[in-house]
Amino acid sequence: MKWLVVISAVLFFIYPEMAIALRCGKGLVSIGDVKAKVLAECGEPQMKEKVRLKDDRYLEVKEGRKKVGRQVEKWTYNCGEGDFIYVLTFDGGKLIKEEPVSRGKGANRCRGN
């Protein structure tokens, strides 16, 4: 039993993305999933927004170099009372981040089709 706890802890730190998952009804989505899978498991989000992230990349322009950022898409799901409001961040169509941002309100809207 002691070894099982140690192995689990080691795997958690070696593969942290495995520990990050969002349950939608009977489905589960995790880092690396594509938008189509998230839609199938969780349904339409309550909000979608495109956000430009600051990045350390530069673009050569006439006036010199211009700092550019990359654009990601953020989807918001309200999983209702007793759960959280989650923001899922997609880059290039793949889920790269899942974060609870506050306590959920009202009915659970994180259900798959």
| pLDDT tens track for 99-111 | 999 998 888 877 7
Residue 100, Cβ neighbours under 10 Å: how many? 13
pTM above 0.85, yes or no: no
Neighbours of 50 (CB within 10 A): 9
As a whole-number percent, the residues of the chain with pLDDT over 90 amount to: 43
